[in-house]
Amino acid sequence: MGQYRPMFNIALEHDYFSAGKFPGVSLKPTPESEKLMNNANLVSRVRQDGLTVFYDADYLDTLKVYAADNDEPLKLNFECDAETESFHNFTNASSFASNKTLFFDSNNTDKSFIGKKYLHSNEFVSSDDLAENFNSAAALNEQFNSVLHFSPDRALLFTAAQTEKNPTGKTLLAANDVEQRRAIAQAMARHSTLKSRKQPSVGLISIQITPGELEQLTAAPVTTYNDYYIRFQARETHWKYFLVGEANREGAFIKDVRGEIDFDDLGEEQLADGRFARVFLSRQAMPLVDRAKPKFQLQIMKNNRPKVLVSRLQVASSKRINRVTVDNQELFVSEIYVNF
């Protein structure tokens, strides 16, 4: 056994978490990738925010053979899930869409250098990183230009623009060749099972190591490797406070100690249990964070001076988000109940 050296690293980031890292994610290789890792003597070290794959220097010749093979290249595919069930709640909504999966491909990055790279072109993960799931022959319509077999249970469809941006690994679909599309649809029947429709909560990741990258890796110091990052943006919501019980006082108002956020008094609203609550809605949307920094106070005027009723109000939770319409505009709203 030779010296193990890092081949690549995958790390997930998220603005929701104060530390910036996205903890509690798991990256599971597909069966083919797991087999490839065993054959090429690759090992992985799992971290809370991702993983690192190492290669054995004694297996370099084997790796070069895989990397040079166009039919079965040195490519590792991973399904990525988040441990927390509220991931979709605290993440920017543009990252998700019906029947689509986030797909991150190292072939979208600059292969001319080894180092830190983001697996998406925008500052954060966005709708540009979504690919259509193949789940029936009907999905193979003319709006899609190519198909990618990700694993035995998953296939992804791409538009012409997506294919042109990165054609690597994709099978082109002839626009007017009905027979070709029918044959591909039949071959992909295994991708229309119940198992294939169960998508990973975060997305799919594909990392391919080219012959040129292998040469750069082996010629460089051991600290040189591709450091791939995926960065999510936190969802922004308007905070809606419901003052119930003794907190529902005439003349009460919410004050931002920092003076950055304003709240509008929406009057009283009857709750499902029949009680009435005084409602306040923030004018500005705020990003959700695991350890909220805003300091809002519940105050009331007494003798022409503000009196603090609650010195620090409860902050928004990622588990209680609704959509509301205000002035014909749909908003994401975090509901917070105050009772004392």
pLDDT value at position 253?
97
Do residue 202 and residue 318 come from a single domain?
A: no
Of 232, 263, 295, the one marking the end of a domain is 232
Average pLDDT, the chain: 91
pLDDT value at position 192?
65
Of 188, 208, 232, the one marking the end of a domain is 232
pLDDT tens figures, 105-134: 999 999 889 999 999 999 999 999 999 998
Residues 6+ apart with CB under 8 A from 141: none
Do residue 323 and residue 197 come from a single domain?
A: no
- 175 versus 309: which is more confidently predicted? 309
Measured in degrees and rounded to the nearest 5, phi and psi for residue 210 equal: -85, 165
Do residue 171 and residue 199 come from a single domain?
A: yes
* Separation of alpha carbons 152 and 81, rounded Å: 18
Do residue 249 and residue 140 come from a single domain?
A: no
pLDDT tens figures, 161-194: 999 999 999 999 887 777 887 888 777 776 666 6
pLDDT grade for 45, boundaries at 50, 70 and 90: very high
Residues 6+ apart with CB under 8 A from 262: 256, 282, 283, 284
Count of the separate structural domains present in the chain:
2
**Least confident segment among 9-23, 226-240, 321-335:** 321-335
Do residue 280 and residue 193 come from a single domain?
A: no
DSSP codes, 213-236: HHHHHHHS-TT--EEEEEEEPBPE
pLDDT tens figures, 246-291: 999 999 999 999 999 999 999 999 999 999 999 999 999 999 999 8
Do residue 226 and residue 247 come from a single domain?
A: no
Q: Can you tell me whether residue 116 is helix, strand or coil?
A: strand
Do residue 93 and residue 204 come from a single domain?
A: yes
Do residue 207 and residue 265 come from a single domain?
A: no
Q: Domain of 148? A: 4-232
pLDDT value at position 76?
98
Of 232, 264, 291, the one marking the end of a domain is 232
Do residue 28 and residue 106 come from a single domain?
A: yes
Do residue 269 and residue 164 come from a single domain?
A: no
Do residue 228 and residue 242 come from a single domain?
A: no
Do residue 181 and residue 282 come from a single domain?
A: no
pLDDT grade for 327, boundaries at 50, 70 and 90: confident
* Separation of alpha carbons 85 and 317, rounded Å: 13
Asked if 62 and 36 touch (Cβ cutoff 8 Å), the reply is no
